Amino acid sequence: MGRYGALWGAVECYGALWVPQPHGAHGSGRTWRALSLLVALPAVGLCMLNVAVEQRRHPPQPPKFLPYHHLRIRTKVGRYGVGG
């Protein structure tokens, strides 16, 4: 039973509340596989296509550099004696 044996034993004793089913007993694996192949992968493909189209229509340009002097305070002498 391993590490959680006491927990599983407690859950199994109720029986009617939780009955373990074999893997794929209700076809859930088939359902998730179909959802993955028919919904998720095409959605990812559409997102990739949307990004590619937008990149061609509006190529990214770096924002204009704005010097923020309060962020560029150099008070310590650097490695090569530059700074300060």
Q: Give percent above pLDDT 90 in the chain.
A: 30
0.75 exceeded by pTM: no
pLDDT exceeds cutoff 80 at 82:
no
Predicted local distance difference test score (pLDDT) of residue 68: 83
Neighbouring C-beta atoms of residue 11, cutoff 10 Å: 14
Q: Where are the domains of the chain?
A: 24-59
Predicted local distance difference test score (pLDDT) of residue 64: 92
Query: Among candidates 55, 54, 84, 64, which has minimal Cα distance to 72?
Result: 84
Q: Are 1 and 8 in contact (CB under 8 A)?
A: yes
CA distance linking residue 79 with residue 83, whole number of Å: 9
- For 16-20, 24-28, 65-69, which range has the lowest pLDDT when averaged over its residues? 16-20
